[in-house]
Structure 1
Amino acid sequence: MTNSTDSTRTPASQTLFRGLDVVDAVAAGALTVQDIADRTGLAFSTTHRLASALVQARYLQFEPRRGYRLGPRLLELGFAAYRDSDVTRSARAGMEQLAEQTKDTIHLAQLDGDEIIYLDKIGGQRPISVNSRIGGRKPVCSTGVGKALILDEDEDKWRARYAYDAERGNVRVPLDTWLAAMRSYAAGGYTFDLEEDAPSICCVAVPIRDVSGQTVAAISVTGTTDYTDEAQLRALIPVVRRVAQTISEKIGGRLG
């Protein structure tokens, strides 16, 4: 059920927020009106009315045998947001530089609550590809970019994030081992993913900071263990740091 709280909303805003709840439910996999109603807690008739209006406005699509799915208007808005992102625009040249130099997959990501979201990606040139997509979400504690995005948080927050991901089966490293690695990463200003998120996938990531010194994104080089080992990842740390520094400077910040 949705976390929305209608009691805190004005009557004029309730329809808007309920409509957004319907879109979120479809994005999470709800296919039928009953699925959406169950996930949002809305009445069936209200759900049907909102879903029909969203189809008419192209925010949702409906096919009789497939059910509801996200509509083309969301795709248009997503690309508009992508084009308007200062971080994405500022990072693109650096990502292309890393892609050319390493032949591996390059990711740009931001923190979004308890997950990370990929803002941009350049696919690798290796025979084995990395399965990820722009707009895709991943856990924080098992990914290189996720760990890079939380390097400045205190240990209590790290523990809370670990507990969140562990409850969902998204971390395979014991807490003490993970915390020790995070302390080392925080001191060095980089992070690794050593097959923690997916078998045979490894990466090195570095945070990107804005003018206030806050981490606003992270950039990573991601490869497979067929071509990359930990020694090679360590050799890439200064390379990725230089690119992250350049991106940070473009948005008025610096790595420190």
Structure 2
Amino acid sequence: MTNSADKEEAKKALPSQTLLRGLDVIEAVSNQALSISDIAKKTGITYSTAHRIVSVLLQRHYLKQDGTKGYSLGRKVLELGFQAFHQTTLTRVAHPFLEQLARDTLDTVHLARIETDSVIYLDKVSSQRSVEISSRIGGRKPLISTGVGKALILDWSETEWAALYQRSGAVFQEKMTQEQWLALMRGYALGGYSFDLGEDALSIRCVAAPVRDGSRKIVAAVSVSSMLEYMDSERMQALIPRVKSAAAKISAELGMQM
């Protein structure tokens, strides 16, 4: 039965407070507070509240039950930790190459990674021309319609490409059939690069290439983007080796053997 202290605490527990308490519980467990009694004592919350929060964190794999000893950090915390470390390392390693590519091309250069059916921009070096690409670090764009998005999925199977088209094909600025999409992706996969031919914004063109880690897994993509007036088809073709070279240099720094 819930006692009066729990009822009073529940009244005061705004969503932000609940989030903070959940974070307090994770931090307490990281400091070897293994039992719910220990967690309650270290965080200053009641036993029943600690039990409720621990139950949710167990369901989401932020905590795990460590046999009869109590609780320890779960796989989700480890996954996020590795992901954060990898992203920080990736951005730091890649930035000098992005800057060089931007100097060489005068255009906007991006570094992005995949998250479900979107790309997230990890870094951006702005154009030296009098144009601005409306992207920002931390911003999202559709995976299917961007140059970096296509570069990130070059290793996918045709079945996976088709499934993405079914989920996201409606975002194209101009209608494209599934077979047209698959034909594009086959060509990009063979060439090891990708284009944005106005699928995301009619006035923007982009050339992109994948970045791979030591296991040859695609972990990011690099792109050069500009307005159509600066990026005709001939220039896009000429940019392919430059963008692929920058991506290869970043990949080498991440341990990929050529």
Report the TM-score, using the length of structure 2 for normalisation: 0.67
Q: For residue 117 of structure 1, what is the aligned residue in structure 2?
A: 120
Q: Deviation per CA, 1:176-214, whole angstroms, max 9, x where unpaired? A: 111111100000000000111012001000000111110
- Relative distance call for 1:84 and 1:207 in structure 2 (3 A) is closer
Alignment match of 2:155 (pick from 133, 152, 157): 152
Shift of 1:47: 11
CA shift, 1:161, in A, is: 0.8
With over 3 angstroms needed to count, the CA separation of the structure-2 counterparts of 1:55 and 1:170, relative to structure 1, is: farther
The equivalences for 1:63-142 within 5 A come to 81=84, 85-142=88-145
Alpha carbons 1:152, 1:186 under 8 Å: kept: yes
User: What residue is the counterpart of 2:66 in the other structure?
Assistant: none
Q: Which amino acid aligns with 2:14?
A: R
Q: Which of residues 237, 245, 256 in structure 2 aligns to 1:242?
A: 245
Question: How far apart are the structure 1 equivalents of 2:251 and 2:145?
Answer: 24
2:227 to 196, 221, 224: 224
CA distance 1:217–1:47, change in 2 (3 Å):
farther
Comparing 113-122 with 144-153, which one deviates more in the overlay?
Answer: 113-122
What stretches of structure 1 of length at least 5 have no aligned partner?
1-44, 58-80
* Residue segments in structure 2 that go unaligned for 5+ positions in a row: 1-9, 23-83
* Structure 2 partner of 1:191: 194
Distance in 1, matches of 2:88 and 2:15, equals 30
Larger radius of gyration: 2
Residue 166 (structure 1) aligned with residue 169 (structure 2): yes
CA distance in 2, matches of 1:198, 1:187: 25
Identical amino acids, percent of aligned pairs:
47
Size of the aligned set, in residue pairs, is 187
In structure 2, what is the Cα distance between the partners aligned to 1:156 and 1:46? Answer: 50
C-alpha displacement of 1:175: 1.3
1:30 — aligned with what? none
Aligned mate of 1:181, from 167, 171, 184 = 184
| Alpha-carbon separation, structure 2, partners of 1:46 and 1:137 | 37
Q: SS in structure 2 opposite 1:107?
A: strand
What is aligned with 1:5? none
**Residues 96 and 49 (structure 1 numbering): CA distance in 2 closer, same or farther, change over 3 Å?**
same
What is the one-letter code of the residue matched to 2:201? A
1:120 is matched by which residue type in structure 2?
D
Q: CA RMSD in A?
A: 2.5
Q: CA separation in 1, counterparts of 2:181 and 2:86? A: 36
> Which letter does structure 1 place at the counterpart of 2:15?
L
The one-character-per-residue Cα deviations of 1:23-71 (angstroms, maximum 9, x if unpaired) are xxxxxxxxxxxxxxxxxxxxxx8997113555999xxxxxxxxxxxxxx
Take 2:134 and 2:185, find their aligned partners in 1: how far apart are those partners?
25
Question: How big is each residue's C-alpha offset from its partner over 1:211-237, in whole Å with a ceiling of 9 and x where there is no partner?
Answer: 111000000000010211111011000
Contact 2:152 2:218 in 1 (8 A): yes
Cα gap change, 1:161 to 1:223, in 2 (>3 Å): same
2:117 touches 2:144 (CA, 8 Å); kept in 1?
no
The CA deviation at 1:97 is 0.4
Residues 201 and 84 from structure 1, CA distance in 2 versus in 1: closer, same or farther, beyond 3 angstroms? closer
